[in-house]
Structure 1
Amino acid sequence: MLDKTTNKPAEDFEYCRTVIEKCRSEAAKRIIGQTQVIDGILTALIADGHILLEGVPGLAKTLAVKTFADMSGFAFKRIQFTPDLLPADITGTLIYEQAASRFSVRKGPVFTNLLLADEINRSPAKVQSALLEAMGEYQVTIGEESFELPKPFFVMATQNPIDQEGTYNLPEAELDRFLLKILLTYPSGEEEQRIIKGGGRIETIPVNRVFDAQKLDFCRSLLEAVTCTDDILRYIVSIVHVTRPDKDKKSAGVHNAAGFTGTSNLNRSRTDILKYLAFGASPRASIALSRCAKVRALFAGRSFVLPEDVKAAAPEVLRHRLILSYEAAADNVSADELIEKILSLMPVP
């Protein structure tokens, strides 16, 4: 039976939901708790993006991407970022062959499907920036020649929020390349007991191959068919525009549509939000929020986006794109708190 809004068989959306559930079930064999990591990896792959994981050591960040590599059969490589790492150690370099009197290309570890950039903030900006072209354009330039990266190409970067000695902040341009930023929390007491019962060798538990390139392409084809109405699009754009100062009439018009003008309480609330923001989210955030909301719809087996999908995706899409002011640091206000306030005030279509 065809879905009336997409002209796709309704069974296709249910099949996609089933594939996602199988991935969750297989991952649960090794990863106890931390379901948001597997959901984040699936979301980023289907939406063709990358994710940044932030959490203390020992929360299965590395295990999650290794597990997904085993579940999918995609090529996997890991780069341990250190202060002495060089850009060529990531992208590759030209090697001179004396016998042939010519240069040849030696490709770096970035040429893979799943790339784990472990503790990415351990290296200075020039090394971090070596990933900009790869993450944005899915190609790498070595010498005078550009090389396409394998498809799919997915970067999962990790950083430790508590050990800041010898670390470097990620450039804003690179942060904006990440589709999602996921915060990992400690497991519950019950989950930790299950981890201990595993004997500390959870990574050796076998998993079945339940996700491959063919299924990824199938899910991506459905993603393009998921319906996002004009009302939902206005809702997404309004959420993102609220994070920006009124520097031109265009943004002011969006705030009018969002309902932030004409009501003194809402105006006052928006003023309270903006004082904590130095810079807001870019149009890339609106695109990311739209695509992630569509993936959320696929997770539920739906062919259309609901406002709840947008609300669920907003924190992970926006938290790393908002640059907080000194006043936010002084008042101990986080990006997540600002996002929560924006969502609570924004009229829902």
Structure 2
Amino acid sequence: MTTTQRSGTDLGEPMPADEFRETTNAIVANIEQVIEGKTATVQLALAVLLAEGHLLIEDVPGVGKTKLAKALARSIDCSVRRIQFTPDLLPSDVTGVSVYNQETREFEFKPGAVFANLVVGDEINRASPKTQSALLECMEEHQVTVDGETYILQTPFMVIATQNPIEMEGTYPLPEAQRDRFTARIAMGYPDERAELAMLDGHQSHDPLEDLVAVTDGTAVRRCIATVRNVHVAAAVKQYAVDLVTATREAPELRLGASPRSTLQLIRTSKAVAALDGRDYVVPDDLQKLAVPVMAHRIIPTADAQLARRTTDAILAELVHRLPVPHDRRSPYDTRPPAPPSSFYDRQK
């Protein structure tokens, strides 16, 4: 097996705080020209990008899932590819295929749609599970293997996928391995009355997405990622993250708890949220705010919980509420380990 050289992995120097704030605010403001009244959702989508993760947007048709994905992609001057997932889509359409060239008498690799900085996968759960699995390697390892040869994807690399709820006709549920590779799952929700009125004025005769121009480029995004990597996480906060994930594995209402990958993604996304909030350290509130979007799509409730109509969002929210928050008053940069915790459910007695 041969491997191409990785390109684009040098993130460059981290941005100064003022430049980071100016760049990220420009991206959010640019997206909000298209998406009205969803600032928190837009900021979370940007946080996932800066955390080097992937975003799953799930909601009913017509609430702006694809527009959010397109607006984020158009706000950054880098390569963007869109994949419309349909039942007849093949894995080679996603990853690429080797084609025989009769002139050179050799096989030439024709890259698929994943060879871009931002890949927009529209209605991902309308393709077959075989095609969905074509994204597994590139989402986790940032590489694609075709015919024994590995091709490295450039940085930044992000998959922004939209899907309809599985109750919708013509959908396939995403396998657990696929869901676990998405850093966060968000729902758009319906706009409020003011935002919907503004949408009628701004979208009736013209689509503002057509006028959207890039406000930054891939180089600046890589420097923002380098800034996020430098955000500090204290030992007590790391322990709190582990406690949150462990609580899902011990919860009697859950058949499958969150994976170790979710712990990593929770910390990475918390660092991005802290940076967007103007801090160079993570606080427990960041983890609490992200617990549902980062972990709810990774866990599976028991049959009894499903019969009781208990959603994973509600179960996670209850776990977060019950789990004691670390009350360590030391500096967030103190590297001393906190006291060893007991089991989550032992602490409730």
Give the TM bin, normalised by the shorter chain.
Answer: 0.7 to 0.9
Tell which deviates more after alignment, 105-114 or 162-171.
Answer: 162-171
C-alpha distance in 1 between matches for 2:302 and 2:191: 32
Partner of 1:203: 208
Does 2:198 align with 1:194? yes
Task: Point out the structure with the larger helix share.
Answer: 1
Residues of 1 paired with 2:103 and 2:213: CA distance?
A: 47
Distance 1:105 1:301 in 2: 44
Q: Which amino acid aligns with 2:309?
A: N
Tell me if structure 2 keeps the 8 A contact 1:117–1:157.
yes
What percentage of residue pairs aligned between the two structures are identical?
38
Paired position in structure 1 for 2:330: none
Aligned partner of 1:317 in structure 2 is 294
2:168 to 164, 168, 185: 164
Deviation per CA, 1:306-342, whole angstroms, max 9, x where unpaired? Answer: 1111111111101111111111210000111111111
Alpha-carbon separation, structure 1, partners of 2:262 and 2:209? 38
Q: Which residue among 101, 104, 120 is the counterpart of 2:105?
A: 101
Q: Secondary structure at the match of 2:248?
A: coil
CA shift, 1:204, in A, is 4.5
1:113-124 aligned at under 5 Å gives the runs 113-124=117-128
Within 1, Cα distance between the matches of 2:216 and 2:38? Answer: 19
What's 1:21 paired with? 25
Letter in 2 for 1:108: G
1:226 aligns with 2:206: no
2:240 to 220, 226, 235: 235
Give the whole-Å Cα distance in 2 for the aligned partners of 1:148 and 1:104.
16
TM-score normalised per structure 2 = 0.85
What does residue 128 of structure 1 align with? 132
User: Partner residue of 1:288?
Assistant: 265
Cα displacement (A) at 1:209: 2.9
In the alignment, structure 1 segments of 5+ residues that lack a partner are 1-7, 246-273
Q: What's the RMSD between the two structures over aligned residues? A: 1.8
Q: For 1:217-275, what per-residue CA distance to the aligned partner results, in whole angstroms no more than 9, with x for missing partners?
A: 22222222211111111111001001113xxxxxxxxxxxxxxxxxxxxxxxxxxxx23
1:111 maps to: 115
Partner of 1:340: 317
Going from structure 1 to structure 2, the CA distance change for 1:99 and 1:19 (only over 3 Å counts) comes to closer
Displacement of 1:70: 2.3
Match of 2:60 among 52, 56, 60: 56
Please tell me whether the aligned partners of residues 155 and 222 of structure 2 are also in contact (alpha carbons under 8 angstroms).
Answer: no
Report what 2:47 is aligned to.
Answer: 43
Q: Deviations over 1:26-60 (max 9, x none)?
A: 21112112334422331121110101000112222
The answer for unaligned runs of 5 or more in structure 2 is 1-12, 327-349
Instruction: Report what 2:329 is aligned to.
Output: none
1:89: Cα distance to partner?
1.0
Q: What CA distance in whole angstroms lies between the structure 2 residues aligned with 1:240 and 1:64?
A: 29
In 2, are the aligned partners of 1:37 and 1:64 still within 8 Å (CA)?
A: no
CA contact 2:156–2:222 (8 Å) conserved in 1 = no
Runs of 4+ with >4 A deviation? none
Q: How far apart in 2 are the matches of 1:199 and 1:303? A: 38
Structure 2: distance between partners of 1:341 and 1:308: 15
Mapped pair 1:300 → 2:277: yes
How far did 1:280 drift?
A: 0.2
15-24 or 335-344, larger mean C-alpha shift: 15-24
Q: Greater shift after overlay, 219-228 or 208-217?
A: 208-217
Q: Hey, what does 1:30 align to over in structure 2? A: 34
Kindly tell me the number of residue pairs found equivalent between the two proteins: 313
Instruction: Identify the residue that residue 6 of structure 2 maps to in structure 1.
Output: none
